[in-house]
């Protein structure tokens, strides 16, 4: 029996993790083939979805769920407290995320939680949050960082995930992490500059979420870059996916 169990665990794979940039979602019509149907095997199940978002209104993180006493909410609260940030818990769920869920999944997951991160965390804290959540992917939990782009965007200032700037930044983070691992335990006299940057406060919403997504993805480069149309008005999602 134990041998059979070990074979099952060896063949099961962790769920993908995503970073999504999306405009305000309008309408509730599902697409013929939801995005997750393209990423998941038909036999894979999703027991819960954790959305990671940001809010610029304050430094205190928020946890939002229709079931605030749920075990996932309790675990998330303890995880954030371990990083030095005590979140507030709300019995509600963002309407934009509810609409997004309809577009992403053929059937909604039993549990859906939003972790709404505030400002005032460092790059390292965002990454450590992501690294801690990365283990949840083995528990049939889908982790999705959602960069909600509300209102009109200045095309001169906005960079989509397809922009080479962000892809270059992620590649740089991978290189820095490889160097950090290689130098750990060595007789290095001073802290490398890229380690010091992890102590810097991050206020830009996109950077906050990318740091978290990078941690959720195991501090690796994403395996997929995609765009996904939501409706006939060319509203679309774009972003990255970590499959491993």
- For 202-213, write each residue's pLDDT tens digit: 778 889 999 999
Q: Tell which residue, 216, 228, 225, 223, has the closest CA to residue 243.
A: 223
Q: Each residue of 16-34: pLDDT tens digit? A: 999 999 876 655 555 556 7
Average pLDDT estimate for 234-242: 80
- Are 54 and 117 in contact by the 8 Å Cβ rule? The answer is yes
The least confident of 121-135, 170-184, 229-243 is 229-243
Q: Compute and round to an integer the Cα radius of gyration of the chain.
A: 18
pLDDT over threshold 80, residue 95: yes
The predicted structure's pLDDT at residue 88: 92
DSSP secondary structure letter of residue 122: B
Distance spanning both ends of the chain, measured CA to CA? 28
SS3 226: strand
Provide the edge-to-edge strand list for the sheet that holds 141-149: 88-90, 62-64, 111-117, 48-54, 141-149, 17-23, 236-242, 224-229
Alpha helix positions (H), the chain: 2-11, 35-39, 71-82, 95-104, 123-134, 164-183, 193-196, 205-216
Q: What is the residue whose two structure tokens read 């870059």? A: 225
Q: For residue 121, what pLDDT is reported?
A: 82
What lies within 8 Å, CB to CB, of 163 at 6+ separation is none
For residue 227, give every residue at least 6 positions away whose Cβ sits within 8 Å of its Cβ, in sequence order, or none: 162, 236, 237, 238
pLDDT in tens, 64-79: 998 888 888 999 999 9
Cα 78 from chain centroid (whole Å): 18
6/45: higher pLDDT? 45
Taking alpha carbons only, the member of 162, 147, 124 closest to residue 209 is 147
Lowest-pLDDT choice from 148-157, 191-200, 232-241: 191-200
CA–CA distance from 108 to each of 35, 46, 100, 152 (Å)? 13, 9, 10, 29
Positive or negative: CA dihedral 47, 4, 135, 166: negative
Q: What is the pTM of this model?
A: 0.84
Return the closest-CA partner of residue 171 out of 124, 219, 215. Answer: 219
- How many whole angstroms separate alpha carbon 149 and alpha carbon 121? 21
- In whole angstroms, what is the distance from residue 139 CA to residue 136 CA? 5
């Amino acid at each position: 029996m134990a041998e059979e169990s070990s074979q099952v665990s060896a063949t099961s794979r962790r769920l993908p993790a995503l970073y999504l940039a999306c405009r305000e979602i309008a309408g509730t019509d599902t697409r013929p083939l939801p995005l997750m149907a393209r990423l998941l095997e038909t036999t894979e199940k999703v027991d819960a979805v954790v959305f990671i978002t940001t809010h610029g209104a304050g430094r205190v993180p928020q946890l939002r769920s229709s079931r605030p006493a749920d075990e996932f909410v309790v675990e998330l609260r303890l995880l954030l407290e371990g990083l030095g940030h005590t979140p507030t818990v709300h019995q509600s769920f963002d309407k934009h995320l509810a609409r997004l869920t309809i577009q992403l999944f053929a059937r909604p997951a039993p549990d859906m939680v939003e972790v709404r991160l505030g400002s005032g965390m460092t790059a390292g804290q965002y990454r450590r949050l992501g690294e801690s959540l990365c283990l949840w992917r083995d528990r049939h939990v889908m982790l999705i960082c959602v960069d909600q782009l509300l209102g009109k965007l200045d095309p001169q200032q906005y960079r989509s995930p397809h922009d080479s700037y962000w892809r270059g930044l992620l590649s740089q983070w991978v290189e820095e992490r490889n160097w950090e691992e290689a130098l750990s335990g060595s007789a290095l006299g001073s802290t490398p500059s890229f380690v010091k940057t992890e102590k810097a406060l991050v206020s830009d919403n996109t950077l906050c979420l990318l740091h978290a997504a990078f941690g959720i993805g195991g501090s690796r480069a994403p395996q997929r870059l995609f765009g996904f149309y939501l409706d006939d008005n060319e509203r679309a999602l774009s972003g990255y996916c970590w499959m491993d």
